């Protein structure tokens, strides 16, 4: 089954090219399947590479998975752009 991630997340293109089944939220909303929801608090310095690695692993499961990326509101990243963090990561308070 596919992993549900935003279509403009860099991992979407990487995983699609590798043959991993991915879908964007608009596609997933049309399906009558309840996904397994996973939140990832990515504390690694190279966040985009870590997103790719983690999504690749969970995308190999037969379940439909909805991946939510979490960020700490009190931490400023040094190696990942703030635009990427704002666009794809949510604070825990918004996901709780």
- Res 28 pLDDT > 90: no
- Res 17 pLDDT > 80: yes
Which is more confidently placed, 87 or 63?
87
Q: Please give the helix or strand (H or E) that residue 11 lies within, else none.
A: helix 10-17
pLDDT at 41: 92
Q: Rounded mean pLDDT of 21-45?
A: 81
Contact 85, 45 (CB under 8 A): no
- Res 78 pLDDT > 80: yes
| Residue 45, both tokens | 């310095």
- Res 1 pLDDT > 80: no
Spans of all domains in the chain? 3-95
């Amino acid at each position: 089954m596919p992993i549900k991630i935003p279509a403009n997340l860099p991992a979407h293109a990487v995983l699609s090219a590798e043959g991993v089944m991915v879908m964007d939220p608009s596609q997933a909303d049309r399906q009558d399947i309840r996904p397994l929801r996973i939140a990832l608090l990515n504390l690694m310095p190279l966040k985009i590479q870590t997103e790719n690695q983690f999504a690749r692993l969970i995308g190999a499961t037969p379940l439909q998975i909805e991946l939510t990326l979490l960020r700490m509101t009190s931490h400023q990243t040094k190696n990942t752009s703030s635009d990427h963090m704002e666009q794809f990561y949510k604070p825990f308070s918004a996901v709780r």
